[in-house]
Amino acid sequence: MSYEEHLQADARLTILKELSRQTDGRLNETVLTAVLDAFGYRKSRDWVRTQLRALEDIGAITLAQAGTVFIASITRAGQDHVDRRTILEGVQRPSPEV
């Protein structure tokens, strides 16, 4: 796995974890960009959108659009990955809870 692939997989896990923390499992791309920034991912909006589309392609999230902003919602498959019930390709595996 290349450095960029590792970076993307880890960022996707960060997105899924943050969505799973929300009461309704949803956040917009602006908030998700700020969350990624807080974890050291200083990336463009286009890069974040690419990660969101990749997560949608594997069934981990669904995307809706409100104006020009994407709204991401975690799916059962995405939650199962965060909960370590299944493994999604292209997403870093979560660490075991201690």
Kindly indicate the confidence band of residue 98, based on its pLDDT and cuts at 50, 70 and 90: low
As a dihedral over the C-alpha atoms of residue 60, residue 64, residue 19, residue 36, rounded to 10 degrees, the angle is: 100
Q: Distance between CA atoms of 5 and 28, rounded to whole angstroms?
A: 23
Work out the mean pLDDT of the chain and round it to a whole number.
96
**Which residues, other chains included, contact 2 with Cβ-Cβ below 8 Å and sequence gap of 6+?**
none
DSSP state of 69: E
Q: Which CATH architecture has domain 3-82?
A: Orthogonal Bundle (1.10)
pTM of the predicted model as reported, rounded to 2 decimal places: 0.95
User: What pLDDT, on a 0 to 100 scale, did the predictor assign at position 1?
Assistant: 81
Query: What separation in angstroms does the CA of 62 have from each of 9, 28, 87?
Result: 18, 12, 18
